[in-house]
């Protein structure tokens, strides 16, 4: 009887242990980001099913599996991106934000990638992990964690995970005193982000193959004359080329050569010889497909369709850096001056001056090569926010 009871007890304990192990296994399968910070540790589960591209980017940066661009030197790097950075922006009762090497929120990994939204990933609850951005399709490395619901962020910021432990630590970071720019007065440091995979599916998830930009340094072929240095490069369609120069291999100056959105690109760059020693480095960010915004708008047409009854401006840019326009609410004239700059997935008319209309600063977020959305400011007696859509003649 005693032996039978012991056997029953052992079998019962074994069954309970098996059941608990199965339950724990079912709960813990997934990919996790373990954040070690100066205020404690917290863990986020990454949703690689519904946000595969965004998760791949975060894992690649956290582990160094995907290269990123050191914006100060132009070097392609494969070291863990987040280790040693801070939570540079904190808004009490809302969120904590990190992922900026300069600590100002103005930089990233040297590239951008497209938004990724899912009806299954929403800000309806607190403890959401999402990408910070500065407009559509401007994701890079900066992320934020919410401490409250944020439903107005749905389909605006790419969600890719949630906090599953350490919410008290996230709350502690969120309560740090900040200045008027939401910058913490005491640094909250991300000491380490460790990626942990549990289960066969998590182990099989590959950070490559999700269309993320590829960052490399490519060779330059150098020839000189008495006054010029000619730099030959292997250029490519959809490549973002950035030339770095130095006279001492310590301080580097960057020049963006632009993103190649057409096949009419050059394989050569010339620079004057203006120092006894000159060093050059080329960084190339290869995009999987077109980012749409062209290098310039010369001899192209843009139609700006403003919301809130502000009418439409049709602009024809010429090859001389100016142009002409017509305004649907009356009047026409010339574009007297403008500055165009190109970013991945967007262009900037910052500013643009008209002969009879108020000057403006406009951001054009390209959804395709021919259209997108606009946002910016018109400057008259007051600053008037403007928004709407645009059509573009490529």
Q: What is the pLDDT of residues 63-116, one digit of tens each?
A: 999 999 999 999 999 999 999 999 999 999 999 999 999 999 999 999 999 999
Apex CA 236: angle with CA 366 and CA 64, to 5°? 80
Q: What class does CATH assign to 214-286? A: mainly beta
Q: What are phi and psi of 61, to 5 degrees?
A: -70, -45
Per-residue confidence band for 320, with pLDDT thresholds at 50, 70 and 90: very high
Residues 56, 292, 100, 256, CA torsion sign: positive
| Average pLDDT score over residue span 124-140 | 98
Residue 151 per-residue DSSP state: G
pLDDT given for residue 28 in this prediction = 85
Tell me the three state secondary structure of residue 68.
strand
Do the Cβ atoms of 341 and 293 come closer than 8 Å? no
Residues 290, 296, 298, 302, CA torsion sign: positive
**For residues 131 and 142, what is the distance between their CA atoms, to the nearest angstrom?**
6
Quick check: 26 pLDDT over 80? no
pLDDT given for residue 15 in this prediction = 43
Quick check: 3 pLDDT over 60? no
Q: Measure the CA dihedral 365/66/106/373, to 10°.
A: 10
Average of per-residue pLDDT values in the chain: 93
* Residues sharing a CB contact under 8 Å with residue 161, sequence separation 6 or more, in sequence order: 33, 44, 45, 46, 47, 51, 55, 128, 129
Per-residue confidence band for 42, with pLDDT thresholds at 50, 70 and 90: very high
- Token pair 């079912």 is found at 26
- Measured from the Cβ of residue 371, the count of other Cβ atoms closer than 10 Å reads 15
Half-sphere exposure of 285 (CA within 13 A, CB side): 30
pLDDT, tens digit, 9 for 90 and up, residues 169-198: 999 999 999 999 999 999 999 999 999 999
Cis peptide before 174, with omega less than 30 degrees from 0? Answer: no
Beta-bridge partner residues of 239: 286
- Percent of the residues in the chain that have a pLDDT greater than 70, as a whole number: 93
**C-alpha closest to that of 55 among 64, 63, 46:** 46
Do strands 68-69 and 239-246 pair parallel, antiparallel, or not at all (unpaired)?
unpaired
From residue 23, alpha-carbon distances to 16, 20, 28 in Å are 10, 5, 9
Side-by-side strand order, sheet with 221-224: 221-224, 228-232, 268-272
pLDDT given for residue 231 in this prediction = 98
Quick check: 17 pLDDT over 50? no
Do the Cβ atoms of 379 and 360 come closer than 8 Å? yes
Of 6 and 211, the structure prediction assigns the larger pLDDT to 211
The residue ranges of every structural domain in the chain are 25-204, 214-286, 301-392
The CATH code that applies to domain 25-204 is: 2.40.100.10
Q: Which ranges of 29-128 would DSSP assign to H, the alpha helix? A: 52-63
Beta-bridge partner residues of 232: 221, 268
- Token pair 């047409």 is found at 301
């Amino acid at each position: 009887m005693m032996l039978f009871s012991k056997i029953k007890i052992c079998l019962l304990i074994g069954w309970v242990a098996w059941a608990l192990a199965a339950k724990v296994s079912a709960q813990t399968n997934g990919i996790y980001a373990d954040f070690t910070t100066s205020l404690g540790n917290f863990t986020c589960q990454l949703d690689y099913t519904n946000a595969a591209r965004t998760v791949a980017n975060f894992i690649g940066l956290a582990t160094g599996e995907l290269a990123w661009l050191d914006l100060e030197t132009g070097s392609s790097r494969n070291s863990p991106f987040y280790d040693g950075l801070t939570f540079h922006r904190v808004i009490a009762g809302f969120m904590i934000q990190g992922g900026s090497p300069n600590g100002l929120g103005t930089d990233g990994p040297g590239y951008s990638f497209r938004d990724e939204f899912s009806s299954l990933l929403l800000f309806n609850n607190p403890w959401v992990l999402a990408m910070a951005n500065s407009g559509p399709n401007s994701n890079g490395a900066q992320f934020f964690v919410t401490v409250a619901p944020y439903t107005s962020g749905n389909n605006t910021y790419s969600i890719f995970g949630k906090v599953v432990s350490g919410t008290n630590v996230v709350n502690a970071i969120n309560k740090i005193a900040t200045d008027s720019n939401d910058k913490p007065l005491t640094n909250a440091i991300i000491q380490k982000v460790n990626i942990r995979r549990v289960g066969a599916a998590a182990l099989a998830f590959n950070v490559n193959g999700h269309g993320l930009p590829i960052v490399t340094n490519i060779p330059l072929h150098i020839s000189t004359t008495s006054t010029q240095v000619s730099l030959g490069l292997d250029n490519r369609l959809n490549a973002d080329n950035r030339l770095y120069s130095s006279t001492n291999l310590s301080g580097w100056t960057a020049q963006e050569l632009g993103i190649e959105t057409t096949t009419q690109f050059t394989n050569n760059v010339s620079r004057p010889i203006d120092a006894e020693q000159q060093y050059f480095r080329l960084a190339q960010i290869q995009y999987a497909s077109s980012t749409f915004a062209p290098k310039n708008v010369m001899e192209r047409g843009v139609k700006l369709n403003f919301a809130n009854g502000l009418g439409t401006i049709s602009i024809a840019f010429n090859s001389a850096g100016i142009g002409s326009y017509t305004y649907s609410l009356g009047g026409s004239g010339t574009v007297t001056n403008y500055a165009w700059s190109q970013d991945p997935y967007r262009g900037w008319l910052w500013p643009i001056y008209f002969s009879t209309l108020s000057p403006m600063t406009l951001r054009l977020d390209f959804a395709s090569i021919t259209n997108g959305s606009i946002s910016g400011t018109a400057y008259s007696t007051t600053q008037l926010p403007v928004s709407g859509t645009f059509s573009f003649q490529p």
